[in-house]
Amino acid sequence: MSGYLPIAFTTKMKSLLGEEFDRFMSSYEDPRVYGIRINRLKLGAEEWKSISPMGGAVRPIPWASGGFYYEEGARPGKHPHYHAGLYYIQEPSAMAPVELLDVRPGHRVLDLCAAPGGKSTQIAAKLQGSGVLVSNDNARERTKALAKNIELAGVRNAVVLNEEPSALAPVFREWFDRILVDAPCSGEGMFRKDESMIAEWEKHSIERCSAMQRHILRDAAAMLAPGGVLVYSTCTFSPEENEAQIAELLAEYPDFEVRPVRHQYGWKPGHPEWAGEAGEGLAAEQSASLAGTVRLWPHHIEGEGHYAAVLTRKGATPAEERQYLEPPVLAEKDAGKRKKVKGNAGAALRAAEKKGGRETKDSGKLQRTGSPARQSGKGRQPEVVDAAAAWHAFAEQELSGGFAGTGSMLSFGSRIYLQPEGMPPLDGLHVVRAGWYVGEAGRNRFEPSQALAMGLRPSEAVRSLNFASDDPDIIRYLKGETLFVEAHNIKMEGNPAQPLKGYVLVCTDGYPVGWGKYTGDGMLKNELPVGWRWM
């Protein structure tokens, strides 16, 4: 493949690497490596290995908790466990930035350039359902995949936004404990993985990428709380997009400093001398600190090229000095729009919100504009649908007493979300998911979402049905077919007097893949959305 690399690229790399250049170039003839990361929101690595046919044929990725190398022919995307969200297929080097971010349960975390969602799901697993994850991407067409991957992973405490970083900074000023900036870049480190990146590199200049990164980093810096941690990462070798960006930030923000990364696993230090003009204005100590950033070179590790810098903001450590997720004081115009929904389904029903709002879209923005309505026919008065009451009725009937749907309930028209507590108002922002999307109210019923199914545990549903991952029926279900099942195979939770008819949480090897609806005559109607089916 090395013969297809742009001459401008190889000339530059030779000047940077010197005697290492030949070894670097030989890495392009090596076969690429493949990685998966186990979703620790749902299970541990050892448990996954015990139930997966891949379990005995994987090797651990040394820098990633729950990350494994697998052989190319394993095809993990063609297995029911993929549809259960038990793992995410991810390039091994791409797992490093989140490991460096040091996320802990309770943190407020921003993934600023998040699509397609691999790093967001990695962050969510580290939060373990506690705290807040805000996943943002400014490319509207990419947020669909971002939202789906978060829902597939069963994340309950995420908000998905589609905004420019400059629009987020005033809303979330000094709000986040952890921020990941996996910046858009020239992509030089991905040439071996994806040869189409070579053509993209020739279209998009390093100068253009550097300008974008500069603005993104400044907005991210404004949103980091004192004592917080920001990880900046790229998949490029370009010093202009790496060491130079960090040098400029340090020069402009004296309360930021580099937290040195331990250079292990074959990782190599950053190069202060590569910062160019950006590094000339730094104090000697600041310049030297750039060596504490890290470069992942493909000729030193089993993975593609990456760069990462860990930055801290001086001040108090939020994780030690403040209570998380206390709802902020809302402006008068926002008062009464949110009510907490805590505890099990019965408690949630008693806390039902009586107000709704119509979901409208203005350039992708969600707005509340009064009571929702459905036109029941020509000349008839519109029928008001109380989405909140419909959700609570569904939860009381179809979810068990063990369901813990904590959060602030928001209704956008007929749609219901459970939003992590303590979020500032998002009015005026382009909101893709205001929280955990649990479903939508119809005229006479509530339709639970696929996101709700993926975030539940089987014990939280009144009815569940489990298939082994090698059972042909689970493939039929994933392809959207109607199933016929014996009533005794449906497991009931909670009240034994509950009818067998109703929504059933369909699982494989004990992990949800979607909803079915049992009709009582042996037929299980398939409720898996078309976009989630096995193709």
In this prediction, residue 535 carries a pLDDT of: 86
Checking if the pLDDT of 50 tops 60, the result is yes
Residue 523 has a CB neighbour count (10 Å cut-off) of 14
How many angstroms separate the CA atoms of 414 and 449, rounded?
12
- Residue-wise pLDDT tens digits, 155-168: 999 999 999 999 99
DSSP class of residue 261? P
If 0-12 CB within 10 Å is exposed, 13-18 middle and 19+ buried, where does residue 297 land? buried
Q: Spell out where 188-347 has E strands.
A: 224-234, 256-258, 268-269, 294-296, 306-313, 339-341
**What confidence tier does 402 reach under pLDDT thresholds 50, 70, 90?**
confident
In this prediction, residue 317 carries a pLDDT of: 57
DSSP-derived secondary structure for 369-383? -S--EE--STTSPPE
Residue 202 has a CB neighbour count (10 Å cut-off) of 12
* Nearest of 347, 450, 448, 454 to residue 403 by alpha carbon: 347
Q: For residues 98 and 205, which has the higher predicted lDDT (pLDDT)? A: 98
- Residue-wise pLDDT tens digits, 436-453: 999 999 878 899 999 999
Catalytic residue among 113, 185, 209, 235: 235
How many angstroms separate the CA atoms of 300 and 296, rounded?
7
- Residue-wise pLDDT tens digits, 454-471: 999 999 999 999 999 999
Checking if the pLDDT of 178 tops 90, the result is yes
Beta pairing partners, 418: 409, 436
How many angstroms separate the CA atoms of 253 and 194, rounded?
36
Q: Spell out where 2-153 has E strands.
A: 34-38, 59-60, 67-70, 87-89, 108-111, 132-136
Region 147-153: mean pLDDT is: 98
In this prediction, residue 353 carries a pLDDT of: 34
How many angstroms separate the CA atoms of 535 and 531, rounded?
9
Name residue, tokens 């310049």: 287
Checking if the pLDDT of 5 tops 70, the result is yes
For residue 54, the Cα-to-chain-centroid distance in whole angstroms is: 24
In this prediction, residue 106 carries a pLDDT of: 95
Q: Spell out where 162-305 has E strands.
A: 176-182, 224-234, 256-258, 268-269, 294-296
**What confidence tier does 382 reach under pLDDT thresholds 50, 70, 90?**
very low
Q: What are φ and ψ of residue 459, in 5° steps? A: -70, -15
Element (H, E) at 416: strand 415-419
In this prediction, residue 350 carries a pLDDT of: 31
DSSP class of residue 40? T
Using CA atoms, how far residue 463 sits from 460, 491, 495, in Å, is 9, 6, 11
Q: For residues 277 and 200, which has the higher predicted lDDT (pLDDT)? A: 277
Checking if the pLDDT of 394 tops 90, the result is yes
Q: Find all residues with CB under 8 Å of 149, minimum gap 6, and list them.
A: 88, 116, 117, 118, 120, 121
Checking if the pLDDT of 82 tops 80, the result is yes
- Residue-wise pLDDT tens digits, 276-307: 999 998 999 999 999 999 999 999 999 999 99
How many angstroms separate the CA atoms of 170 and 316, rounded?
21
Tokens of 327: 């709802």
Region 411-433: mean pLDDT is: 94
Q: Percent of the chain scored above 70 by pLDDT?
A: 86
Element (H, E) at 436: strand 436-441
In this prediction, residue 2 carries a pLDDT of: 56
- Residue-wise pLDDT tens digits, 220-245: 999 999 999 999 999 999 999 999 99
Domains and CATH numbers, the chain: 102-320 (3.40.50.150), 332-454 (no CATH), 457-532 (2.30.130.60)
Average pLDDT, the chain: 87
Region 375-399: mean pLDDT is: 72
> Is 507 noted as a catalytic residue in this protein?
no
**What confidence tier does 246 reach under pLDDT thresholds 50, 70, 90?**
very high
* Nearest of 337, 341, 334, 325 to residue 422 by alpha carbon: 325
pTM of the model: 0.89
Region 38-56: mean pLDDT is: 96
**What confidence tier does 398 reach under pLDDT thresholds 50, 70, 90?**
very high
Region 414-426: mean pLDDT is: 94
How many angstroms separate the CA atoms of 236 and 16, rounded?
13
Which of 48-52, 75-79, 359-363 comes out lowest in average pLDDT?
A: 359-363
Region 419-433: mean pLDDT is: 94
DSSP, collapsed to helix, strand or coil, labels residue 316 as coil
Checking if the pLDDT of 193 tops 60, the result is yes
- Residue-wise pLDDT tens digits, 324-339: 443 333 232 333 333 3
Which phi-psi region, left, alpha or beta, contains residue 528 (left: φ > 0; alpha: ψ -120 to 50)?
beta
In this prediction, residue 176 carries a pLDDT of: 97
Beta pairing partners, 67: 37
In this prediction, residue 384 carries a pLDDT of: 54
**What confidence tier does 501 reach under pLDDT thresholds 50, 70, 90?**
very high
How many angstroms separate the CA atoms of 96 and 114, rounded?
15
Region 201-213: mean pLDDT is: 85
In this prediction, residue 404 carries a pLDDT of: 76
Q: Largest alpha-carbon pair distance within the chain?
A: 81
Region 415-424: mean pLDDT is: 94
**Taking a C-beta distance cutoff of 8 angstroms, is the pair 12, 241 a contact?**
no
How many angstroms separate the CA atoms of 473 and 516, rounded?
13
